[in-house]
Amino acid sequence: MDNKEIIQELVTSLGKQKHDFLNQVESSVRDYISSQGKKCLTINQLNKDGSIRYRWELSADIDYAKCLAAFCQRKPFRGCELDSGLTEPVVELVSSKFATFYQKNEQALNQAALKSLLKNKVIIGSIVDKIVEKALTNKGTKQIAGHVTSAVTTKIVSLIVAEIHDIVHSQAGEATIHTIQHAVASGVAVPLVKTIALVIVKLISLHMGALVVKLLASTAFKIVVATAVKKFLAVVLLAFIIKMIAVKLGIAVGTAYFIILLPLIAAFIYYEIRTFPSQLGEKVSEKVRQELDQNFDKTNHDIIEHMFKQLLGEVENIATNIAKSSEVQGYIDELVSEMTKQF
For residues 123 and 161, the answer to whether their CB atoms sit within 8 Å is no
pLDDT level of residue 143 (50, 70, 90 thresholds) = very low
Model confidence at 43: pLDDT above 60: yes
Give the long-range contacts of residues 95-98, CB within 8 A, separation 24 or more. 95/222, 95/225, 95/226, 95/229, 95/230, 96/222, 97/21, 97/24, 97/25, 97/28, 98/225, 98/228, 98/229, 98/299, 98/303
Please, what's the largest Cα pairwise distance for the chain? 96
Q: Give the C-alpha separation, 105 to 44, whole Å.
A: 36
C-alpha–C-alpha distance, residues 21 and 33, integer Å: 19
Residue 110 lies in a domain: yes
Answer whether residue 324 is part of any domain: yes
Q: What is the pLDDT of residue 173?
A: 45
Residue 142 has pLDDT above 60, yes or no: no
For residue 7, the SS3 value is helix
- Count the Cβ atoms, other than its own, within 10 Å of residue 161: 20
- One DSSP character per residue, 251-297 reads --GGG--HHHHHHHHHHHHHHTTTTHHHHHHHHHHHHHHHHHHHHHH
- For residue 276, the number of C-alpha atoms closer than 13 Å in the C-beta half-sphere is 22
Considering its fold, how many domains does the chain have in total? 1
What confidence tens digit (pLDDT) does each residue in 288-307 have?
A: 999 999 999 999 999 999 99
Amino acid at 81: E
Distance CA 55, CA 65 (A): 14
Residue 139 has pLDDT above 70, yes or no: no
The answer to the question of residue 161 being in a domain is yes
Helix (H) or strand (E) run with residue 43 in it:
strand 43-46
Task: Write out pLDDT tens, residues 114-131.
Answer: 988 888 888 898 889 888
- Per-residue pLDDT tens digits for 325-337: 888 888 888 887 7
Q: Is 244 helix (H, G, I), strand (E, B) or coil?
A: helix
Residue 202 lies inside a defined structural domain of this protein? yes
Answer whether residue 1 shows pLDDT above 90.
no
Most confident of the ranges 26-40, 63-77, 171-185: 26-40
In a domain, 172, yes or no: yes
Mind listing the pLDDT tens digit for each residue in 241-294? Answer: 988 888 777 666 555 555 666 677 777 765 677 888 999 999 999 999 999 999
Q: Is residue 69 part of a domain?
A: no
Residues 6 or more apart whose Cβ sits within 8 Å of residue 58 = 38, 39, 41, 42, 64, 265, 269, 273
Task: Provide the pLDDT for residue 8.
Answer: 94
- pTM of this structure: 0.82
Nearest alpha carbon to residue 110 among 231, 251, 249, 13: 13
Q: How far apart are CA 336 and CA 157, in angstroms?
A: 11
244 within a domain of the structure (yes/no): no
Inform me whether the pLDDT recorded for 39 exceeds 70.
Answer: yes
In this predicted structure, what is the pLDDT of residue 144? 47
Domain of 324, in residue numbers: 106-217+312-340
153 pLDDT tier (thresholds 50, 70, 90): confident
Average pLDDT of the chain to the nearest whole number: 84
pLDDT confidence tier of residue 13, bands split at 50, 70 and 90: very high
Residue 114 belongs to some domain of the structure:
yes
What share of the chain in percent tops pLDDT 90?
A: 47
Q: Are 253 and 242 contacting, i.e. CB atoms less than 8 angstroms apart? A: yes
Q: Which residues of 306-319 are buried (b: 16+ CB within 10 A; e: fewer)?
A: ebbebbbebbeebb
